[in-house]
Amino acid sequence: KPKCYSLLAIILLTMLILVFFSSGLLSPRSQTPGSPEVGARVKELDHLQVVTLSRMVYPQPKVLTPCRKDVLVVTPWLAPIIWEGTFNIGILNEQFRLQNATIGLTVFAIKKYVVFLKLFLETAEKHFMVGHRVTYYVFTDRPADVPRVALGAGRRLVVLTVGTYARWQDVSMRRMQAISDFSERRFRHEVDYLVCADVDMQFDDHVGVEILSPLFGTLHPGFYGSSREAFTYERRPRSQAYISRDEGDFYYMGAFFGGSVQEVTRLSKACHQAMMVDQANGIEAVWHDESHLNKYLLYHKPTKVLSPEYMWDKQLLGWPAVMKKLRYVAVPKNHQEIRNR
């Protein structure tokens, strides 16, 4: 009899442990308390998940022939760095279509920056996630000035009217707060991925599902060849964005990042909170939200890194041979003129 009881106890204990583990209680990053839905969809949608494809004919990947010899194509934590030549868009489109992925593109057009919307949207229609479901989320204080742009099938535009700030630095930084607020209220019910972009830009070439991953950042075009000491991270230890000279992987640009709604919510919330702490301490990071983004991505390694093909400035940097394509590029602007009323 006692033997039988102890066997029963062991079975019960094993079952209890199994239930405990499978409910994700021991995985600290599994879910945000109180918002069980966040990320539930994208877990199923990660492109690395196995999906059943139909027959496809395409060039064979060659183990002894690297796709690129001139650039780093994988980070030390094994996240792909996305360059032209490293991916087959046909395979990726098939995988993401099978999962019916929906992509939200957030863009802020506050005050005079509404003038950039037309070109941004028109070129996005030509190059951004073509063939997939897309929702543009346009944050603006001037809803009447949002241009009417003809949208392709499966694509829609939502205007989100928001307040504004006097300083352009605050306009830029407060994007993190708005993104985190709307992620919880709205985006998580409507889209799987979020791509957060500057508006003073245009799409010149393909930007598609190859960028999608739980968390991605983009290499700043001015620093992809620089050593970490030269990165323009925030260097004052009093700031929450501080990074010491002996740390840092890459210098990411604040103008293009994204990921699953769950991860973008975490990122934007963390950056906003850090900026609020800085404000209370009377300090503002040297490159504002970009400094905080860099701090976040140093300690939360992105699962994909976009090459500067995805963030370029032709006027400033020309067209070096290493860039096979320039996909998302700066529209020349007069900072003084456009940033002031």
Least Å distance, CB 340 to ligand GAL, is: 17
Q: Is 170 annotated as a binding residue?
A: no
Q: What is the three-class DSSP state of 116?
A: helix
DSSP secondary structure letters along 72-98 = --B-TT--BEE-TTS--HHHHHHHHHH
Report DSSP state, residue 36: T
Least Å distance, CB 43 to Mn ion, is: 32
Choose, from 210, 284, 290, 309, the residue flagged as catalytic: 290
Phi-psi label, residue 85: left if phi above 0, alpha if psi -120 to 50, beta otherwise: left
- Cα 162 to chain centroid distance, Å, stands at 22
If one asks whether residue 199 binds ligand UDP (CB under 6 A), the answer comes out as yes
Q: Is 113 annotated as a binding residue?
A: yes
Least Å distance, CB 219 to ligand GAL, is: 12
Question: Which structure tokens are listed for 326?
Answer: 């320039």
Among 198, 210, 234, 278, binds ligand UDP (CB under 6 A): 198
Q: Is 181 annotated as a binding residue?
A: no
If one asks whether residue 200 binds Mn ion (CB under 5 A), the answer comes out as yes
Distance separating alpha carbons of residues 294 and 288, to the nearest angstrom: 10
108 binds, among ligand GAL, Mn ion, ligand UDP, none (CB under 5 to 8 A by kind): ligand UDP
Among 258, 327, 330, CA closest to 87: 327
If one asks whether residue 290 binds Mn ion (CB under 5 A), the answer comes out as no
Least Å distance, CB 219 to ligand UDP, is: 15
Phi-psi label, residue 215: left if phi above 0, alpha if psi -120 to 50, beta otherwise: beta
Q: Is 243 annotated as a binding residue?
A: no
If one asks whether residue 195 binds ligand UDP (CB under 6 A), the answer comes out as no
Q: In what order do the strands lie in the sheet with 215-219?
A: 81-82, 304-306, 215-219, 252-260, 193-197, 102-109, 133-140, 155-161
- Identify residues 255-284 at the interface with ligand UDP (CB under 6 A): 255
If one asks whether residue 222 binds ligand GAL (CB under 6 A), the answer comes out as yes
290 a catalytic residue: yes
Among 289, 290, 305, 326, binds ligand GAL (CB under 6 A): 290
210 contact partners, CB below 8 Å, separation of at least 6: 82, 87, 89, 92
Q: What is the β-pairing status of strands 193-197 and 252-260?
A: antiparallel
Among 96, 287, 296, 310, binds ligand GAL (CB under 6 A): 287
What mask of x and - would describe binding to ligand UDP in positions 15 to 54, judged by CB under 6 A?
Answer: ----------------------------------------
Q: CA of 199: how far to CAs of 95, 307, 334, in Å? A: 29, 19, 14
- Amino acid residing at 100: N
Least Å distance, CB 202 to ligand UDP, is: 12
Stretch near ligand UDP under the rule CB under 6 A, chosen from 30-38, 110-118, 186-194, 315-323: 110-118
222 binds, among ligand GAL, Mn ion, ligand UDP, none (CB under 5 to 8 A by kind): ligand GAL
Report DSSP state, residue 17: H
Q: Is 190 annotated as a binding residue?
A: no
Distance separating alpha carbons of residues 274 and 127, to the nearest angstrom: 34
How many residues make contact with ligand GAL (CB under 6 A)?
Answer: 6
25 contact partners, CB below 8 Å, separation of at least 6: none
If one asks whether residue 169 binds ligand GAL (CB under 6 A), the answer comes out as no
Q: Report the interface residues with ligand UDP, using CB under 6 A.
A: 108-111, 113, 168, 171-172, 198-200, 255, 339
Residues carrying an active site annotation: 290
Residues forming the annotated binding site?
Answer: 108-110, 113, 198-200, 220, 232, 290, 313
Note the residues at the interface with ligand GAL (CB under 6 A): 220, 222, 232, 253, 287, 290
